Amino acid sequence: MKHIPSIQERSSQPLKLAALRQAHQDWNTTSDVLTRLTRRLATTLSLEEQLAILAEELNEIVPFGTMNYRHRIGYQDFVYATGMGGPHRCEYRLALEGVSYGTLVLQRRHRFTEQELEGIEILLGAAICPIRNACKYAAIEQASLTDSLTGVPNKRALDDALRQAGQLSERHGQPYSLILCDLDHFKSVNDTHGHVVGDHLLQVAATELERSVRTSDSVYRFGGEEFAILLPHTDDLAAREVAERIREAIATIRVDTGEKELQVTTSCGVATCLSGESTQAWVARADAALYQAKRHGRNCTRLFASIS
């Protein structure tokens, strides 16, 4: 049954609205640190930006030398650090409803007093809910950029990385190279042994690829049985050496199918970003080099520049 406001309720509405406007004004203009902190944290879902805000507000109340924060989000470690350290430290494990949202450490040259530690805990209590929301948002964002089967970044993440690499290469004149590698005769693996074996092979291949490159290099699942490796500060000849190392590593893979041991090889195409080149053109050149490797018998590497 629909509720019809009484005369008394209708007459009180202007007062309630006026109180709401006053509360909103107070919220936006109050200078106390807790309100200011929560108001500022509510403006962003970026964990890095939230930690920068927290560091600034904390330092106003309890001066410190260094603030370090570390948390495992999905497949990656998130680390934030600011300032210069000292021998004295206090450490807090941030948790809410039994779930961990990282570890925060403050350091400075002299000891923290009990009153200062209490102040830090009050501010962290006000910050934990926004930090939780930012961690969850980061996890969702990471999942959207991660291949669910292999755990490596997906094509969407590659597209973003290629755009950034092209800009950095243009700005600083540093070479960036791209390797596309395709597992040879992969369709026959699925046809003969089934998709469970095929999926396992892709997972093993992704692991082997990550072991074969530097920590500064990035491995992506480009699609199907094709992977991409982005190599910063690497020219075409050095990239070819990496591709050969990858090819040799993939050739060592052995998968027990129950009937016989399964082996696999890979073909690689290499292209180095050119000045003023679009990411689409860069990928197309690496793909053309990969096609040439396939045409020349597979289990080999081709540079785009070597295509006649």
How do residues 40-87 score in pLDDT, each as one tens digit?
999 999 999 999 999 999 999 999 999 999 999 987 889 999 988 889
Same domain, 173 and 298: yes
Same domain, 173 and 286: yes
31 — pLDDT class (breaks 50, 70, 90): confident
The predicted structure's pLDDT at residue 6: 64
The predicted structure's pLDDT at residue 5: 64
199-234: burial string, b at 16+ Cβ within 10 Å, e else: ebbbebbbebbbebbeeebbbbbbeebbbbbbbbeb
Is residue 272 within 8 A of residue 236, CB to CB? The reply is: yes
The predicted structure's pLDDT at residue 2: 63
* Cα distances (angstroms) measured from residue 179 to each of 24, 68, 158: 55, 36, 12
What is the Cα–Cα distance from 250 to 211, expressed in whole angstroms? 11
Residue 56 a catalytic site member: no
User: Taking the complete model, does pTM exceed 0.95, yes or no?
Assistant: no
Q: Is the pLDDT of residue 213 over 80?
A: yes
What is the domain extent for residue 117?
15-144
What confidence tens digit (pLDDT) does each residue in 178-195 have? 999 999 999 999 888 889
Q: Which of 54, 30, 31, 59 is closest to 44 using CA atoms?
A: 54
Quick check: is 84 in a domain? yes
Give the mean model confidence (pLDDT) for residues 224-250: 95
Quick check: is 3 in a domain? no
Task: Dig out the tokens for 181 from the structure.
Answer: 């590698």
Residue 83's CATH number: 3.30.450.40
C-alpha angle with apex 308: 161 to 176, nearest 5 degrees? 20
Q: Is the pLDDT of residue 308 over 90?
A: no
Same domain, 109 and 183: no
Same domain, 36 and 171: no
Average pLDDT of the chain, as a whole number: 91
| Tally of structural domains, the chain | 2
The predicted structure's pLDDT at residue 17: 80
What is the Cα–Cα distance from 147 to 99, expressed in whole angstroms? 25
User: In the chain, what percentage of residues exceed pLDDT 70?
Assistant: 95
Out of 118, 144, 170, pick the residue that ends a domain. Answer: 144
What is the Cα–Cα distance from 121 to 246, expressed in whole angstroms? 49
Pick the more confident residue, 26 or 135.
135
Same domain, 161 and 84: no
Same domain, 96 and 125: yes
The predicted structure's pLDDT at residue 1: 59
Q: Name the catalytic one among 57, 208, 225, 226.
A: 225
* Cα distances (angstroms) measured from residue 38 to each of 27, 28, 31, 49, 111: 10, 11, 12, 13, 27
Same domain, 119 and 230: no
Same domain, 164 and 296: yes
Quick check: is 194 in a domain? yes
Q: Is the pLDDT of residue 18 over 90?
A: no
The predicted structure's pLDDT at residue 9: 59
